[in-house]
Amino acid sequence: MNQFIQKYYDTSIPSLGSGGAVKVLSPATVANVVCGFDILGFALNEPNDEFTISLSDEKGVTIINDDAYDLPLDPEKNVSGAALLALLEETPDIKGFHFISKKKIKPGSGIGSSAASAAGAVVAANHLLNNRFTKEDLVRFAMFGEKVASGVKHADNIAPAIYGGVTLIRSIFPLDIVSIDAPELHVTVVHPQIEVRTSDARQILKQRVLLKDAIKQWGNIAGLVAGFIKHDYDLIGRSLEDVIIEPVRSILIPGFDDVKKKCKEAGALGGGISGSGPSIFMLSRNEVIARAVESVMKEVYENIGLAYHTHVTTINQQGVKLL
């Protein structure tokens, strides 16, 4: 076994620095929120990934996967590793990190698996470093992980994972992140057991948009943000419409139109594709409706004969949590 393979496949714990070890829970997230492509997102209370990080006397990042997903161990090809390498560029006093990944958010599920990995890694590292970096700094580092995953630095999953709650990415360069107060909402998610790669889902998007569609989309984005701030459920429901991205991406998700129609009939405010899919999310006023929506989702996929997982949860106001 050559030295490179030996370094990244050795599961022994390297000697630790004085910082000990930190364990965190990193949340799943819903990005886009129907009409807010690349600019809106919110964190979920379930599911979560679990990560443990410690300082290392070895230079760079050593990764161990304590799960079934067999993600790359080379840190430059791993979303957590890339985020930590970016952080290390600005911490010359630190040699490296030892990182243990226990993922429960399935890669390619559309609920921010790569963002959970990148955000969890940098938040945990920041705790080891006595919180020397701001949340905005951490988003900036974690975006290097998103670039590994999708080829693009985007923050609509990263920001809510780190800040918690609902976030608006007003700008990427420079970063301008706005936390949005939102009413209590229940979230139902169904994950059909197929994979839609973020990079593939981006490639099929139209590169030009009609002005009339852009105007309609801008109105929906503004209405959704206003609905959150005003705690106006009806306005939220009316604004959960996407005339640009969803019509293209929904063709990749079996049963999408049926799920959306029947969930709204069951009382959901609305919803759509979570991130790039294949997961579909719906927002509801209360848990009773959210559970009814879950039943509808199950019925659709049982009729199709496609395996699925569901989650009924709420918006996570904290983001990555220290254990």
Q: What is the average per-residue pLDDT within 226-244?
A: 97
Which residue reads 């004085």 in tokens? Answer: 18
**What is the band of 14 on the pLDDT scale with cuts at 50, 70, 90?**
very low
What is the pLDDT, as a whole number, of residue 20? 85
- Respond yes or no: is residue 294 known to be catalytic: no
- Respond yes or no: is residue 146 known to be catalytic: yes
Judge contact between 316 and 43, C-beta under 8 A.
yes
How would you classify the pairing of strands 270-273 and 280-284? antiparallel
What is the pLDDT, as a whole number, of residue 36? 97
Q: What is the average per-residue pLDDT within 65-69?
A: 94
Q: What is the average per-residue pLDDT within 109-125?
A: 97
What is the pLDDT, as a whole number, of residue 105? 96
**What is the band of 69 on the pLDDT scale with cuts at 50, 70, 90?**
very high
Which residue, among 284, 303, 239, has the nearest Cα to 311 in the 3D structure? 284
Q: What is the average per-residue pLDDT within 149-159?
A: 92
Helices (H), the chain: 3-9, 79-88, 113-128, 135-150, 158-163, 198-203, 211-230, 233-239, 246-249, 256-265, 287-304
Which residue reads 């229940």 in tokens? Answer: 186
Alpha carbons 273 and 257: distance in angstroms, whole number: 11
Q: What's the whole-model pTM score?
A: 0.91
Which residue, among 153, 150, 166, 172, has the nearest Cα to 34 in the 3D structure? 166
Condensed to tens digits (0 to 9), the pLDDT of residues 173-191 reads 999 999 999 999 999 999 9
- C-alpha dist (Å) from residue 73 to 6, 78, 195: 11, 7, 21
User: Minimum mean pLDDT among 16-25, 113-122, 220-229, 236-245: which range?
Assistant: 16-25
Phi, psi of 228 (to 5 degrees): -60, -50
Which residue reads 């129907």 in tokens? Answer: 34
DSSP 164: -
Indicate the SS3 state at residue 180. Answer: strand
Look at residue 158 and tell me whether its pLDDT is greater than 80. yes
What is the pLDDT, as a whole number, of residue 295? 98
In the chain, what are the domains?
3-180 (3.30.230.10), 186-314 (3.30.70.890)
Q: Which residues contact 170 (CB under 8 A, 6 or more apart)?
A: 39, 176, 177, 178
User: Minimum mean pLDDT among 14-28, 66-80, 255-269, 274-288: which range?
Assistant: 14-28
**What is the band of 3 on the pLDDT scale with cuts at 50, 70, 90?**
very low
Q: What is the average per-residue pLDDT within 117-133?
A: 97
What is the pLDDT, as a whole number, of residue 163? 98
| Per-range mean pLDDT, top range of 13-22, 77-86, 205-214 | 77-86
Which residue, among 101, 97, 99, has the nearest Cα to 50 in the 3D structure? 101
What is the pLDDT, as a whole number, of residue 206? 75
Look at residue 201 and tell me whether its pLDDT is greater than 70. no
What is the pLDDT, as a whole number, of residue 203? 73
Q: Cα 201 vs. chain centroid, distance in angstroms?
A: 15
Look at residue 124 and tell me whether its pLDDT is greater than 50. yes
Amino acid making up residue 239:
S
What is the pLDDT, as a whole number, of residue 130? 95
Question: Which of 198, 246, 294, 313 is flagged as catalytic?
Answer: 198
Alpha carbons 188 and 247: distance in angstroms, whole number: 21
Look at residue 212 and tell me whether its pLDDT is greater than 80. yes
What is the pLDDT, as a whole number, of residue 11? 35
High-pLDDT (> 90) share of the chain, %: 87
Question: Which of 50, 146, 246, 294 is flagged as catalytic?
Answer: 146
Which residue, among 70, 84, 63, 65, has the nearest Cα to 7 in the 3D structure? 63
Instruction: Give me the chain's average pLDDT, please.
Output: 92
Look at residue 9 and tell me whether its pLDDT is greater than 80. no
Angle at 116 between CA 224 and CA 47, to 5 degrees: 80
